[in-house]
C-alpha cells in the first residue's frame, strides 16, 4: 500500500 502525504505535519506550540 502506498501512502501519499498530502499535508505538512502540525507544529508544536511554544509559550513565550
Which stretches of the chain bind other proteins, using CB under 8 A? 7-16
Integer Cα distance of 2 and 12 in angstroms = 27
Phi, psi angle pair for 14, to nearest 5°:
-120, 130
Nearer to other proteins, 4 or 11 (CB): 11
CB of 3 to other proteins, least distance (A): 17
Nearer to other proteins, 3 or 12 (CB): 12
CB of 14 to other proteins, least distance (A): 4
Integer Cα distance of 9 and 6 in angstroms = 10
Amino acid at each position: 500500500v502506498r501512502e501519499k502525504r498530502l499535508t505538512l505535519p502540525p507544529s508544536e506550540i511554544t509559550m513565550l
